[in-house]
């Protein structure tokens, strides 16, 4: 990954150094995992569950998204996922969903430019 790509990811809210550190410095593996993040279904499944008022399953998906994003250095997305997960587990429609969506799509857009 070149410096420009790293800067793009960081501007999208990804702590690239942290993410690479989580894969023991293997930058190629990290980039591969970013590509797999785009294929991960937890985000769209969570949104669909919320739309279908299946808040319990949406909470499970938010929990999984929280873990995946945290492992990749997506700290803002991880924090937003945690907040949404808590609301869902309380049986409430998540107030933070729009912020989570914005953050997710910003990250998604930048990853697509790199992988």
The two three-digit tokens of residue 58, written as one number? 């949406």
The topology under which CATH files domain 3-114 is 1.20.120
Q: Tell me the chain's radius of gyration from C-alpha atoms.
A: 14
What does the domain layout of the chain look like in residue ranges? 3-114
Separation CA 94–CA 59 (nearest Å): 10
pLDDT digits (tens, 9 = 90+) for 26-65: 999 999 999 999 999 999 999 999 999 999 999 999 999 9
| Spatial distance between the Cα atoms of 75 and 26, rounded to a whole number of angstroms | 19
Taking CA atoms, 19 is separated from 58, 59, 85, 96, in Å, by: 25, 24, 22, 24
| pTM for this entry | 0.94
């Amino acid at each position: 990954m070149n410096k420009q790509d790293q800067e793009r990811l960081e501007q999208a809210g990804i702590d690239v150094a942290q993410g690479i550190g989580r894969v023991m410095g293997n930058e190629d593996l990290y980039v591969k995992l970013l590509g797999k993040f785009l294929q991960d279904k937890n985000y769209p499944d969570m949104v669909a569950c919320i739309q279908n008022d299946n808040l319990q399953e949406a909470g499970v998906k938010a929990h999984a998204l929280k873990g995946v994003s945290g492992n990749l250095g997506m700290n803002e997305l991880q924090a937003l996922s945690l907040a949404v997960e808590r609301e869902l587990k309380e049986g409430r429609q998540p107030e933070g969903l729009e912020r989570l969506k914005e953050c997710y799509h910003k990250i998604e857009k930048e990853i697509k430019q790199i992988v």
